[in-house]
Amino acid sequence: MASPIWAAKPLFRELAMSASQPSTAGQRFRWAVDRELPLQVPGAVNAMCALLAQRAGFRALYLSGSGVASASHGLPDLGVTTLADVLDDARRITSVTDLPLLVDADTGWGSALMIERTVRELIRGGVAGMHLEDQVDAKRCGHRPGKQLVSVPEMNDRLKAALDARSDSSFVIMARTDAASVEGIDAAIERATQYVETGVDMIFAEALTSLDEYRQFTAAVEIPVLANITEFGRTPLFSVDELRDAGIRLVLYPLTAYRAMNAVAARVYETLRGAGTQIDLIDSMQTREELYEVLDYYAKELSEGKSNRK
């Protein structure tokens, strides 16, 4: 079998061959994509989740727009949160870890001027990259029915605004297409190839339903393609090995940990309310020592004590 197109085309060849990691967030993200095939990118809804993912050995992180809406604001993923909302959560994550963070920028929150501002603010916030989607501004979750798309020229205008706004050329601009479940796989691939011609760095192929569809995408697109392996959606839960064989370069798990956290929290509240004690929950909890280890609590406490004695 011939090697897939992407195999011979690292994004950041000189850094992929280097023993030392690059300095900017965008460079670190490109370096990680070249080092791990495919790169697993878990979602982190807050700084603590980011630290836990880092300890588990992941090389990159993701901030989901749906996660920002529901975890931070108790709102559905219907385009109701703002750039400021996303920036708050992104900065909290980039302040505690050097892992590169990919951010869901929805449709860019407005006009070309707003998209330009989005890029500048995310770079200023230490973010590695963002993806823009080709839905209308009143967007829906990518795995829900009733999605509507903008025209290819309008999407390309969004992407050009983002590309032109980069003060850091390594900041990753990823184009997400939701066309597969609206216009069909051939139209989605055609859209993706036009976004590549516009100059984007990566493609987010949303809501595909088979490995064959991913193979069609990666055969037609000469830049890295991301597979969104989200639970309870249209896409089956393909394994890393299956997606590697299909030519996928990045595998996204946007809300896996968050959904598990919510399920556990619901059981905890129900048990605490019903039993009047948490004694039966202790074995399922993170201990105080485990929390302190993640936070490097004792070293920071010692450092603070020394500072106060000066």
How far apart, in whole angstroms, are the C-alpha atoms of residue 105 and residue 119? 9
Residue numbering of the annotated binding site for Mg(2+): 104, 106
* Largest CA-CA distance found in the chain, in angstroms, rounded: 68
Give me the active site residues, please.
62, 77, 104, 106, 131, 133, 141, 176, 206, 228
Residue numbering of the annotated binding site for substrate: 141-142, 176, 206, 228-230, 259, 288
φ/ψ (deg, to 5) at 215: -60, -40
CA 286, 239, 36, 108 dihedral sign is negative
From 164, 253, 247, select the one nearest 213 (Cα to Cα). Answer: 247
φ/ψ (deg, to 5) at 205: -95, 100
Residue numbering of the annotated binding site: 104, 106, 141-142, 176, 206, 228-230, 259, 288
3-class SS shares of the chain: helix, strand, coil, % to 5 = 50, 10, 40
